[in-house]
Amino acid sequence: MKKSFLIFIVCTLLSGCGNQEKEQGRSQEKVILTVSAAASLKNTLNDIEKSYEAEHKHVDIKFNYGASGALAQQIMSGAPVDIFFSAAQDKVDDLVKNKTVDKEDTKSLLKNHLVLITEEKLTSLDDLQQEKIKKIALGNPELVPAGEYGKQALENKKLYQKVKSKLVLTKDVRHVLTYVETGNTEAGIVYTSDLKSTNKIKHTLKIQDDLHKPITYPIAKIKDTKHKKETEELYQYLQNAQSKKVYQKYGFDINGKE
């Protein structure tokens, strides 16, 4: 009888330990947050990811980088995303109209500028008409905000139709950078922040801000996130003073600050 009782006690203790280990295992499982972000933010957000995950060890951030227009379409089609960080206000506005995002859960956070990058030195956008410029890389204006802004600048300079046959449309702004770095095109239009990720660009020419719509980067929480607490914490962290220093380090301006 005593032997049977001892066996019962041991089994009960072992069972309790097993359940405790299972509970600990569950508590150690990381919350995965998915952030869809403009390709131009890649280096910046990769830096912020390291500091955030060091402070929030229960969170694993997964980034989906691409053209803001394509990312917005994915989200509206039901892609499981927690936060959207766009390179254009209208892409977030589309999500608000689609009722995927509440307007109060958005914030216009950053500003950027356009720059023409070239193999040979040019003195103005008009020089894109020169014979030596055979191909110009530009993000697809239908999906890539940098391409949309670039098209506006060329149109306002009465150049778009004149150089249209030279345009090589890319799927995001980082591909424009690569095309010029590798010599596949003689010129391209990117953001000034993109220059922070390369030392292979020979010449740059700043494009006037008044030639295109203001370049702003809004951030938004997706309404149907399954991790509301963790999403809110990351959403706020991406706007804090520490993160703003990282954005500035990579060539972005803080919106609302001159």
CA distance 87 to 146: 8
Q: Which residues contact 174 (CB under 8 A, 6 or more apart)?
A: 39, 40, 42, 194
Residues 126 and 135: beta-carbon distance below 8 Å: no
| 51 is an annotated ligand-binding site residue | no
| 65 is an annotated ligand-binding site residue | no
| 68 is an annotated ligand-binding site residue | yes
Q: Which two tokens stand for residue 86?
A: 């766009």
CA distance 5 to 12: 11
| 179 is an annotated ligand-binding site residue | no
| 70 is an annotated ligand-binding site residue | no
CA distance 136 to 164: 9
Residues 153 and 87: beta-carbon distance below 8 Å: no
CA distance 70 to 172: 10
Longest dimension (CA), the chain: 101
CA distance 83 to 96: 13
Could you list the residues known to form a binding site for molybdate, using ranges.
Answer: 40, 68, 146, 173, 191
Could you list the residues known to form a binding site, using ranges.
Answer: 40, 68, 146, 173, 191
